[in-house]
A and B are shown apart, each in its own frame.
Chain A
């Protein structure tokens, strides 16, 4: 295989109809970015735009007759890209736009399955545009919307000007629960730094595994916390109707109103008994000692239009929900020190992919194999797995970092299975 540096990076652009793919494409084709780009899109009619090239393709998906049931590829891409890569006129980057309803699996798998593609091209990343206003219509019903989010290395929440900030936070939290490894950006009219879209190194595992810090932290029984400064008196926690008929809350004294004070309050709060309040409700409580108090709520207050009347929090923080909003699509991250027994790791991985490959959309990892001076990096799409030795660990502490994104993932089984591979 050619060294990855000589392979041309490919970005796959997905997103439902109306999410802003065309706007983004037009920006990429007209903006001064100094790159020569070939775009493969779906609509009929071939046009050349300045020095870039736009080729129209009919999405043709076929199954590989190789015994792997989920192994589908894009035949049109193999032909078109195979032809393009032979030309003297070289492109710095290739952008593939998929149709709104497309499952990104076949496109991604094409770069694993076909030797010619693997030798000449590298999948730089999958970018999914999300229409922040209308995604709710699809996110629960259309499997494709979930898959597009689950497969993404970068998610652009577009049209944020049409949505209230609280709804955006809620959407972001929901997306995070499905795909914790993707980089998430907010945009209006698809205005986004092109560096976030092109050459983003989505398959650069170091970057891909720089997970959202919230993803790697322990799970807490609350989604939100905020510190208030109270004087003695009676207060009302006003809660409107929301997606749950009740909510757990706890109030914990805090030393001050800094983020650190909030962090310190977390550990104390989780050992307390939570109060369960019905929703909606006007819940009153009395403060006798003046000072700072941290309130933690099981659900995000925005979901219930909840607030303490007459008083605003001084510092707030959101937490990853411990209950998956989306039971179907989720991410499981594993970070652990130690060296792996390569035989055990291989057999666990192969059994996992055999049995669960259909449900695992993406996986990425950097692991430490016992007796090997280099890091071992891998990534996969469904049952397809590509792993290779990477640079030496050097002074960096040896550890294992993996993430699985998929449907109905069993977090505990994955974690236990992986830990059994430690040497």
Chain B
């Protein structure tokens, strides 16, 4: 494509299997990458050197989460366990029995005090040291995703949202079960809170997304709307740092909804075309204007939505993109693929 730069990685590594999850520690020093078949690899994020390899879970890893402000991380596995690790020593700090075989999701709260795990219908809350705080009553369906409310000055405190077939549930540490829910007739697959915590977008199996508008936060009044017409189920979504735009997958076109003013009700989304196959990953900078996207064909693209309708730069990883994450500071981002490629890119080269 004329005028589109080729992205060259700062460093490139290859793991032995699909990288199911990858994330930077909050200080940006470490990068952890999880092979789908169970191995966790810790890299020096700047240099791309392998620091440690941890056989974290026998059959497979499903997700990972760094504890904010520390060099500790948690892994969820298909062996019924979540485990806490030290990235500096590779020591196992704790092992948590999550109640069912496939522990699918886990995430530390923004405060770093709590860890939420989901395994089938079992939602559990743990302290950061691995002490079980709550085994919630079985959810009505398998929990497909969970996400903590982002930390904001306006809405302090940790609130967890989790979803599945039937809707969305909110839970606060200290409570015995979910205290609020939004019902939905279909199956919700993804939850994405906006950075200001005034919106939640859910991506659904039935090729739709749903917005929950929460101007006063999750405890205030809410309204919701569903956007239909996607080609496929929603694999990923990403909010821009101002909580105004939600970029969504669901086809080979990136569809961006404008939540400013009275939007997105009645508004027409921006549509970015470049990918030829289904978009699998979307990641917006945490404070900048750039959006990175990846698709099932293995193409990676960097965009500046609102300013240009074609990508600024692209790269081809050769296999479906399984993960994109911006590093703290927004200057670099990683892209990983289903065949184990792990590349770090810098935005400096496109300036």
Contact = CB atoms under 8 A, between A and B. Distances in A.
A60 B141 contact: yes
A83 B278 contact: no
Contact of A83 (B36, B79, B165, B340): B36
A65 B340 contact: no
Q: Which 10 interchain pairs have the tightest Cβ spacing? A: A65-B186, A62-B165, A115-B232, A86-B18, A65-B185, A88-B17, A65-B206, A66-B206, A62-B187, A64-B206
Contact of A115 (B62, B101, B165, B233): B233
Interface in A63-88: 63-66, 73, 75-76, 78-80, 83, 86-88
Interface of B: 16-18, 20, 36-37, 59-60, 62, 78-79, 100-102, 104, 120, 141-142, 144, 165, 184-187, 204-208, 231-233, 278, 320, 322, 338-340
A92 interface: no
Nearest to B80: A46
Q: Contact size class for A?
A: 20 to 34
A75 B140 CA distance: 13
Given A56-B101, A87-B36, A88-B37, A62 B141 contact: yes
B186 A62 contact: yes
A86 B61 CA distance: 12
Secondary structure class of chain B's binding surface, majority of residues: loop
Secondary structure class of chain A's binding surface, majority of residues: mixed
A63 B37 contact: no
B233 A114 contact: yes
B186 A63 contact: yes
A31 interface: no
Contacts of B231: 115
Interface of A: 44, 46, 56, 58, 60, 62-66, 73, 75-76, 78-80, 83, 86-89, 114-116
A254 to B, nearest CB: 62
B139 to A, nearest CB: 11
B62 A83 contact: yes
A63 B62 CA distance: 25
A350 to B, nearest CB: 19
A76 B232 CA distance: 18
Contacts of A62: 141, 165, 186-187, 205
Nearest to B280: A116
Nearest to A44: B101
B186 A79 contact: no
A56 B120 CA distance: 12
Contact of A86 (B79, B142, B233, B322): B322
Which residue among B37, B101, B144, B204 has the maximum number of chain A CB atoms within 10 Å of its CB? B101
